[in-house]
Amino acid sequence: MKIGIISIGDYRHITLISKYTSYFDEKRIPYDVICTDRYADPIEKNNVFQYAMPRTVSKLDKVQSFIAFKKWAQRLIIQNHYDFLVVWNENTALLFSDFLLRKYKGRYCVNIRDVDFLYQTILNVIRGKVIMNSSFSTYCSKARLNFPKGYKYVLMRSMNLDVLKHVKKRETIRSESEPIRIVFIGKVRFFDADKELIQAFGNDKRYEIWYIGAGSENLDYLREKYSNLFLIGKYAPDETAKYLEMADVINSYFGTKVLGYERMSSIRFSYAPYIHIPVIVGSNTNMEEEGNTYGFAYGFGAVECENEADAFYKWYRNIDSSKFIEGCEKYCSDIYETDFIFYETLAKKLEEFR
């Protein structure tokens, strides 16, 4: 048996495929990763195939680039005779829809990451067919996703243990004499939300605001105005642990302008409880509800809050470390139980193709 993992994403942005690759490595199942290279900086791994995406501005050029990637990837898939495909994210499923339904019907799984596609009514007819004809499909959030109508997803939580096992867990919060580091790590793309958070905590000596990852350069114009804003560009996946150890608080705030923002559940969200640090999320979201259940999330953007910096500082200083760590560990235990069900399903499905 040999597995193919396909994604329109750059290898640096699909680190959570480790949910699959760690299992394949443990079971000695050969696999390849077929994805894009957005930065003219290919990953040097024998089983990673990247298509160099040209830097384009117009929508037409982008569409043509993805069509070219699709043709290239399909040739690789046919050439390598994969028994099963892992289709990483809902847009990859759309791009390869005709190929999957024609050549791999029932021999692939789809991983749903974001739900901003729910409003693409016409395109969702195609997405729905792809999901319905998959061996199984996964969703990363406990929030209910009724698409296609009545479809039952396998829950695959966004905790990346391949990264987190290298990070030292915290035992206490930051002392009052030091600034609290609020760290966003990953692809920076929700610029309205970023600006909103920076304005709330900017030029406050109690905080340092860090954005680490590709896209952070788009916030560079704010550095002149806010002295406590720090930016680091794209990084290699194996540097993630290093940057996580810098954080006192994880920033997982999406704002309210992203379609489906209230249902989102990011990889960053699960970084925080594993390391025993808080996470800032949007108010009135699934992440706030879930985080509050275990006591590690702060809801940013509540209407009744007049001064977020003061409100958060008070919340942070009132953390009882022992109770906080207990809640974080309970959350992690619940994820491990969910992962057990996911891997049980994966093993059962793959057995059909041996």
296-306 tens-digit pLDDT? 999 998 767 78
> Tokens at residue 243, please?
């940057």
Cis ω before 148 (30° cut-off from 0):
yes
Report d(CA 28, CA 350) in Å as an integer.
13
pLDDT in tens, 254-289: 887 665 556 667 888 989 999 999 999 999 888 999
Q: Considering the entire predicted model, what is its pTM?
A: 0.86
> Tokens at residue 184, please?
């966003």
Could you tell me what percent of the chain has a pLDDT over 70?
Answer: 97
Query: Which one-letter amino acid corresponds to residue 205?
Result: K
Q: Fold identical between 3-156 and 165-332?
A: yes
Task: Dump the DSSP string for 144-171.
Answer: ----STT--PEE-----HHHHTTSPPPS
- Strand 31-37 versus strand 48-52 pairing type: parallel
Q: How many CB atoms lie within 10 A of CB 322?
A: 8
The answer to whether residues 19 and 45 touch, using CB atoms and an 8 Å cutoff, is no
Spelled out in words, what is the top-level CATH class assigned to the domain 165-332?
alpha beta
> Tokens at residue 254, please?
């999406």
Task: Dump the DSSP string for 58-127.
Answer: SHHHHHHHHHHHHHHHHHHHHHHT-SEEEEESHHHHHHTHHHHHHH-TTSEEEEE---GGGG-HHHHHHH
**Banded pLDDT at 238 (limits 50, 70, 90):** confident
Q: In terms of pLDDT, which residue wins out, 101 or 40?
A: 101
Domain locations along the chain:
3-156, 165-332
Report d(CA 246, CA 282) in Å as an integer.
22
Please state which of the four CATH numbers 3.40.50.740, 3.40.50.2000, 3.40.50.2300, 3.40.50.1820 is assigned to the domain occupying 3-156. Answer: 3.40.50.2000
